């Protein structure tokens, strides 16, 4: 029996990957589902599976959800195996793909699927694949970010392939529809649900795998994210407590932002708590506090030590990101950062930060300053994305009183018969995160 101390993350991850590839290449089932927690090497797995399928001579189509994801996969494939001819199927809009693909001679780009026939691997978005017609389906497909793909999008492309590997993160944001879809709630093929939900409802016998190790999240973050968002499918960090360090050349000036930065550098988490108050969505004080934390992170000459290199890497603007719930909040933070002279830092909503990775993230809590807790703001995936983008530390900026808000407003969503209830619910996950952050709290009155 192995003890916890003997847990070898590399070996555990390798075992999981081998099992997945065995099922994908030699299994009897038409589909294989892989659940991957944040930063568990999902892209690496997709690239490896694609190369092995190509080596086995099976024509492969890859379905990703956004053009950025498609381009990223093409570049990763090219990096791993420069000789492999790859087809990039794109839309007929202007600038349909990353210009970097033009430097790769083995990548053929076209807006017509017919131009790409015969290539071992063809990659495109689900939206583009939906317009493709074939006489003979592909032998194999890989569906990336399958939990963010809507069931109706899978319906439109599933006729294109015989077998498929579905890879995704069940803890991130669920897909959504801009019109009501209650009339289909409870149906196994609810078109607004996630592709994996539909797939498993109709094919419960499919093998399901799980990547057990997060290489992104530090040892300080993995237990919290795992407990709060993946209570029944726990994972661990690939690195130990001593492996990553964040240090600052300039000492703290004693202000709230500096104290919370030190707390986060020390423990991996920091909560900058502003006085309780009901505010508009673009709460000016909270927005300024977020911008100030970013400014101080840069001013204090941060250096990040990790397993990736021996020498500490400087904490530069491209290694920091700010996450918000709403687009107008992101716009307000961007404007505040421009005022403080740091325009280069990425500021985006949870939806757009999915799949990205930074050293330090600063998060404006979705429930900060709100009078109510709506389903949107409680959504587990939103908080999960925001609190799982960092390799070193995460600073959350929030008004006091969110736990009272959670207790005052129990969930009022109507119960739908036949739907799979998602655990944990947003209420529970929010409480779990807040309880942990409360120990890392810095109270500040700006």
Partner 1 sequence: MSLISTLARLEAVATGHAQPAATVRHRHLSDRPLVFVPLTTAGEAGAPLGALLGTDRDAPRLLVVPQPRDRDLRFAFLAELADVVLPYVDGYAEAVEAAERTETDPETGKRVKVEAELCADAPQLIVPSRAGIDFVRLLGRSMRFRRTAEQDPETPYPAPPRVPLLGRWLTHVGERARVPGSALLLAMTDVLARHWATGQSSLEDQHLGALLAWIAPPDDEPGTEAALRAELARDAQGQLLCPPAGPATDPAFDNRLLAPAIERYDRARTAFAAAEDGLEADDRLGALTAAEREIRDLVLSRTLPTWQKVWQGLDLLRALPAGAHIEERWTRDRWSFTGHRDRITAGEPPQPRRDDAVTAAGKLAAREREQARLEAQEALDDPLVMAGRRLSGEAFAGEVTDVVMAYSESRRPSPRPLITVRTGDRPHLAERVRVYRSLSGKPQAAEFVERAGDDLIVLRIVDKMGRGKTPEEGSVPDKGDPVCFTLFEHEQRGGAKLPDPEQTPWTHGGPPGEAVLPEADPMTAEDLL
Exactly one of 104, 155, 219, 317 binds partner 1 (CB under 8 A); which one? 155
Nearer to partner 1, 331 or 340 (CB): 331
Nearer to partner 1, 197 or 220 (CB): 197
Q: Does 30 help bind partner 1 (rule: CB under 8 A)?
A: yes
408 closest CA partner among 365, 373, 369: 373
Nearer to partner 1, 159 or 314 (CB): 159
Q: Does 252 help bind partner 1 (rule: CB under 8 A)?
A: no
Nearer to partner 1, 16 or 206 (CB): 206
Q: Does 321 help bind partner 1 (rule: CB under 8 A)?
A: no
How far is the C-alpha of 137 from the C-alpha of 274, rounded, in Å? 57
Bridging pattern class, strands 313-314 and 302-305: antiparallel
Number of residues that bind partner 1 (CB under 8 A): 36
**Shortest Cβ distance from residue 168 to partner 1 (Å)?**
14
How far is the C-alpha of 333 from the C-alpha of 339, rounded, in Å? 10
Nearer to partner 1, 144 or 258 (CB): 144
58 closest CA partner among 91, 21, 33: 21
Contact (Cβ atoms closer than 8 angstroms) between residue 165 and residue 34 = yes
Residues of span 322-361 touching partner 1 by CB under 8 A: 327-328, 331
How far is the C-alpha of 127 from the C-alpha of 111, rounded, in Å? 13
297 closest CA partner among 273, 274, 272, 329: 272
The mark string for 279-318 relative to partner 1 (x by CB under 8 A, - otherwise) is ----------------------------------------
* DSSP assignment string, 144-190: TTGGGSBHHHHHHHGGGEEEEEEEE-TTSPPP--SS--GGGTT-TT-
Nearer to partner 1, 103 or 135 (CB): 135
Of 40-48, 108-116, 190-198, 405-413, the window that binds partner 1 (rule: CB under 8 A) is 190-198
Q: Does 205 help bind partner 1 (rule: CB under 8 A)?
A: no
* DSSP assignment string, 28-52: SSSEEEEE--TTSSHHHHHHHHHHH
* Residues 6+ positions from 134 with CB-CB distance below 8 Å: 113, 160
**Shortest Cβ distance from residue 180 to partner 1 (Å)?**
7
Nearer to partner 1, 95 or 103 (CB): 95
- By three-state DSSP, how is residue 337 classified? helix
Q: Does 24 help bind partner 1 (rule: CB under 8 A)?
A: no
Q: Does 66 help bind partner 1 (rule: CB under 8 A)?
A: no
Q: Does 159 help bind partner 1 (rule: CB under 8 A)?
A: yes
67 closest CA partner among 38, 30, 100: 100
Of 48-56, 127-135, 307-315, 339-347, the window that binds partner 1 (rule: CB under 8 A) is 127-135
Residues of span 364-423 touching partner 1 by CB under 8 A: none
How far is the C-alpha of 372 from the C-alpha of 350, rounded, in Å? 20
- By three-state DSSP, how is residue 21 classified? helix
Q: Does 68 help bind partner 1 (rule: CB under 8 A)?
A: no
Of 54-62, 65-73, 155-163, 382-390, the window that binds partner 1 (rule: CB under 8 A) is 155-163
How far is the C-alpha of 343 from the C-alpha of 339, rounded, in Å? 8
**Shortest Cβ distance from residue 97 to partner 1 (Å)?**
14
Exactly one of 154, 322, 363, 396 binds partner 1 (CB under 8 A); which one? 154
**Shortest Cβ distance from residue 219 to partner 1 (Å)?**
36
Omega of the bond leading into 424 within 30 degrees of 0 (cis) = yes
Nearer to partner 1, 195 or 217 (CB): 195
**Shortest Cβ distance from residue 322 to partner 1 (Å)?**
16
Exactly one of 19, 25, 56, 130 binds partner 1 (CB under 8 A); which one? 130
Residues of span 167-186 touching partner 1 by CB under 8 A: 177-181, 183-184
Q: Does 65 help bind partner 1 (rule: CB under 8 A)?
A: no
Contact (Cβ atoms closer than 8 angstroms) between residue 143 and residue 49 = no
Q: In angstroms, what is the C-alpha Rg of the chain? A: 22
HSE, CB side, 13 Å, CA atoms: give it for residue 252: 15
- By three-state DSSP, how is residue 364 classified? strand
Residues of span 86-115 touching partner 1 by CB under 8 A: 94-95
Per the DSSP assignment, residues forming a β-bridge with 354 are: none
Q: Does 29 help bind partner 1 (rule: CB under 8 A)?
A: no
Nearer to partner 1, 82 or 186 (CB): 186
Percentages (nearest 5) of helix, strand, coil residues in the chain = 40, 20, 40
List of residues contacting partner 1 (CB under 8 A)? 30-31, 94-95, 127, 130-131, 133, 151-152, 154-156, 158-159, 177-181, 183-184, 187-192, 195, 198-199, 202-203, 327-328, 331
């Amino acid at each position: 029996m192995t003890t916890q101390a003997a847990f070898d993350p590399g070996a555990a991850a390798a075992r999981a990957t081998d099992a997945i590839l065995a099922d994908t290449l030699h299994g009897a089932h038409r589909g294989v589902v892989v659940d991957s927690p944040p930063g568990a090497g999902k892209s690496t797995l997709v690239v490896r599976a694609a190369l092995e399928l190509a080596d086995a001579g099976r024509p492969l189509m890859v379905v990703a959800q956004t053009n950025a994801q498609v381009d990223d996969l093409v570049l990763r494939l090219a990096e791993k195996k420069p000789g492999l001819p790859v087809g990039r199927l794109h839309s007929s809009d202007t600038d349909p793909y990353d210009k970097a693909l033009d430097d790769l001679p083995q990548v053929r780009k076209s807006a017509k699927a017919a131009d790409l026939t015969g290539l071992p691997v063809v990659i495109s978005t689900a939206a583009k694949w939906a317009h493709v017609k074939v006489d003979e389906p592909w032998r194999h497909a890989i569906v990336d970010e399958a939990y963010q793909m809507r069931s109706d999008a899978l319906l439109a492309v599933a006729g294109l392939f015989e077998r498929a590997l579905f890879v995704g993160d069940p803890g991130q944001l669920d897909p959504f529809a801009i019109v009501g879809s209650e009339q289909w709630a409870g149906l196994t093929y609810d078109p607004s649900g996630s592709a994996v939900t539909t797939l498993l409802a109709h094919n419960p016998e499919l093998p399901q795998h799980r990547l057990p190790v997060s290489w992104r999240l530090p040892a300080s973050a993995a237990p919290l994210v795992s407990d709060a968002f993946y209570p029944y499918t726990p994972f661990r960090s690939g690195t130990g407590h001593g492996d990553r360090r964040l240090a600052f050349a300039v000492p703290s000036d004693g202000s709230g932002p500096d104290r919370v930065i030190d707390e986060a550098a020390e423990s991996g988490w920091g909560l900058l708590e502003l006085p309780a108050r009901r505010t508009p969505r673009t709460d000016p004080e909270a927005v300024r506090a977020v911008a100030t934390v970013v400014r101080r992170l840069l001013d204090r000459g941060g250096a990040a030590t990790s397993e990736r290199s021996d020498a500490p890497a400087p904490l530069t603007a491209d290694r920091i990101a700010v996450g918000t719930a709403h687009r107008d909040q992101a716009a307000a933070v961007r404007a505040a950062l421009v005022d403080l002279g740091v325009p280069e830092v990425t500021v985006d909503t949870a939806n757009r930060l999915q799949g990205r990775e930074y050293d330090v993230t600063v998060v404006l809590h979705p429930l900060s300053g709100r009078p109510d807790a709506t389903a949107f703001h409680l959504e587990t995936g939103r908080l999960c994305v925001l609190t799982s983008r960092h390799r070193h530390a995460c600073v959350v900026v929030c008004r006091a009183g969110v736990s009272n808000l959670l207790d005052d407003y129990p969930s009022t969503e109507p119960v739908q018969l036949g739907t799979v209830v998602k655990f944990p619910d947003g209420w529970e996950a929010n409480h779990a995160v807040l309880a942990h952050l409360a120990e890392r709290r810095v109270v500040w009155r700006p």
